[in-house]
Amino acid sequence: MLDNPEEFQNLVHTVKEIAKADRADQLLEVLEQAQPTIQQTSYDNWNGGTYGYAISLEVDVKTFIRIKDDIEGIERLLLDRFSLPVRHMENEDIHKVKIVPKTYAIGARSPNPHRPFTPAELKRREELITYLNKSTEDELIADILLPLFRQLGFHRITAAGHKDKALEYGKDIWMKYTLPTQHVLYFGIQAKKGKLDAAGVTKEGNANMSEVYNQVLMMIGSEIFDPEVSRKVLVDHAFIVAGGLITKQARYWLGEKLDAVKRSQIMFMDQEDIVNLFVVTNLPLPSAALANSNPIDDLPF
């Protein structure tokens, strides 16, 4: 059934690949930014019964405002691409795609990443940990960090990429967060795929905090251009993110190297933080993580 979470997730991944092949950049931007959901909206008994589904793509308010004049055309194009992978299904049909703005409840409680997990959530954690242990730095950024920070309410999330480092200046990602007072804070992220330690000799696949030190100074000291306000700004805070463990010694070493002002700008996220946040915000796992958990099934959805 298309409303099975894993089947729907694989369907969304397939549609993204179709949009890439069509070079439909605007559709791909919406798909990459959106939080997709599917709902059964109809059923008839003809020819064994046919289930009808509607897909909602929840995007941030600024994105919705930017595309609202063309939204019906974009929805039609997305419906065409969502219908392609399921055209062979005689008893299931997607008849509507709607783009909706994300709503924020005032005073709503954030998901608690430190609460007890259900058995299903524990299984998702294991699958994600397996994926993180095997993923590259680019996969960590594209498949995990970008959707996670979008879900957490950050916006204008921009990845510097690793093909062209000329304008990276120590940042793999920069993004904005709007406070309830409407003040805007800017964040930079330096991501490493493995364990971050402070050992004299670092094992292959891990990173040493001394490698991160200069990148952090560069991140905090370099300006970024925000096209939404047409001016250059400095990063207010810097995340150091690792796909593995960040040791206590590594955190202490960096704290000793930085002065009091810069120390207050640094925040750490390691594998445990990433996995817990990913699970409690109910984000779908990357398709490669699902492939690892079910290697026999080669079907795209």
Give how far the C-alpha of residue 124 lies from the chain's centroid of Cα atoms, to the nearest Å.
16
Provide the pLDDT for residue 108: 52
Half-sphere exposure of 284 (CA within 13 A, CB side): 21
Fold held by 119-280? Restriction Endonuclease (3.40.91)
Average pLDDT per 10 consecutive residues for the chain, totaling 301 residues: 79 91 90 86 75 88 87 94 89 90 61 84 91 91 90 83 49 86 89 82 66 84 82 90 90 84 87 92 82 49 47
Residue with tokens 């009091």: 260
User: What residue spans define the domains of the chain?
Assistant: 5-108, 119-280
Provide the pLDDT for residue 299: 47
From residue 125, how far is each of 12, 35, 111, 130, 199 by CA, in Å? Answer: 21, 20, 16, 9, 28
Provide the pLDDT for residue 164: 42
Provide the pLDDT for residue 114: 83
Buried b (16+ CB within 10 A) or exposed e, 198-221: beeebeeebbbbbebeebbeebbe
- CATH number for 5-108 (one of 3.30.300, 3.30.56, 2.40.50, 1.10.287): it is 3.30.300
